Structure 1
């Protein structure tokens, strides 16, 4: 086991359920529906009759849909998606019980909002991608601001495709995962596979790995799989200082204390932490001062056209001043023009953007803007 500055990495028990993707059952059985409100119950009963969907009411206010095997549950969820509104789906709990079983306490853990089950059905491509560890990654260099031909690190950017080979845009990937309650599984799989792909492609510099703090429930348990993956790497690549975990979608964070706990967990293990998309708003600056990450990435909105916008220059100057006071290294991302780089190169430590290199499966070498 490695150490960072003579501090041993804590090893905790893993969480097997965190590593399991719950695919929709394929066998015959019964889909039980429990609408929370009387209005939803009435609407559900009425729609079942109108659409001639087989249904019974074994006990008061609980509806039961018989489900045939070989895709019957998927068909049932598709029909319910068509006949119920989004609010009605969200107001109904559902659970599937296989044929030959009676509903019991053990089925409670498989009880979900109907909207989540339908979203899981609509996210079947994503479920299969996660179940088969089929995420891939492109890598984009982060370069030294003063010498952009020199790579400081690479950021791992997730990529995924449908079985038909159609690329799934990253924003759609995470939106689908959030709707289907698969955000934790996507985030975990992305962290692990980013490490694997970087190892396969021979990246020897620092690696920035994105993580969504809203997807991490218990840092000690849910991050252990990432630590185990790093420990399995060749010795020369498994130093914790070679990994920077980058907080994405920080604007969605409602529990700063929870995020601080995650950051502390990474740091105790010897990793570094970056805060993404830092803007000029109070929430961003407050998060910077509270978390004090090792790196901060300046939001693209502050970078775009900064060489010709005095107002943006003044705002960025204040952000840089605060980061310097907190001893935080600064990365300007989304740089697309030589003018932006020339203005920024004396203000920040590192740069990233299409001007230097686009993300690619094989880690690209950056081009110098003045070469």
Structure 2
């Protein structure tokens, strides 16, 4: 548990820096496309991991034995991540100069250790008290928000400016729905399909990949559409509102189909998952580009950090709550309906974001 917490704390640093670099180095008028192209790697990773997980575990049985076979996906994926980091280092040096391990790294390490200790303490107390999994997730999320709130309240500068930025905070709160949907379907899509259609794991995994695989198309397409709308002075917000609303409606339709069909068709579920995921993946680079444009350039790291921080409420709670609802009612329908409703609520929040009149840029 402690190693997992430290890993997540470290991974959280990537996002704010990743989005900031893309916003800075994308060609004029193509910021959203840049966001979409880069985040396509997420779709590729989810698709590959979903399909290959059984094979990695089978390899683990042969190499590590049946009891330790579960370790093999972590060993393989962790090694690939380390190798990729080493390959990227020379490129990052050319992009931003020498990689220095200075005061920022020390502050990050200190904060991470404190957060890890606090999270572990809450987990041990809550688990010892017999609290359900979703309750532990909610408690740990509340603790993280309190700790971060204390840090932000004691600091001026970029972090404080983001908290006071109404539109940036609206986007951050709406991100709860995005990460809720991402982690709910990433975590449970195979089980949802398998339990609904009474299919094999392999069949369910192949259907579930439609949810992740749509990102290969949706991410860059959504980014391109967003840039196209902005170059014509329409702004990004209208497309973001409509894509989020449509995605929420499609998720509700998926839940209704699960509820109404005696034995849902794998083909119909594949089509619904792919269509909903297409809109879901397309809206993400729209939201990311909007975050970058609603703050000053030197505030983008803090803005994306806040977006990810608040959005992680959904990422932490949705898998645990979804599993708890299934255990209680024996169906995924309720969890799917909650997901769709949250996406529609996110669309409503986007309506109140004041994008301002977009300046027409030269189409690229």
Where on the TM-score scale, by shorter chain, does this alignment land: which range? under 0.3
Q: Which has the higher contact order (CA 8 A, sep 6+)?
A: 2
Q: Which has the larger radius of gyration?
A: 1
TM-score when scaled to structure 2? 0.21
Query: 1 or 2, which has the higher strand percentage?
Result: 1
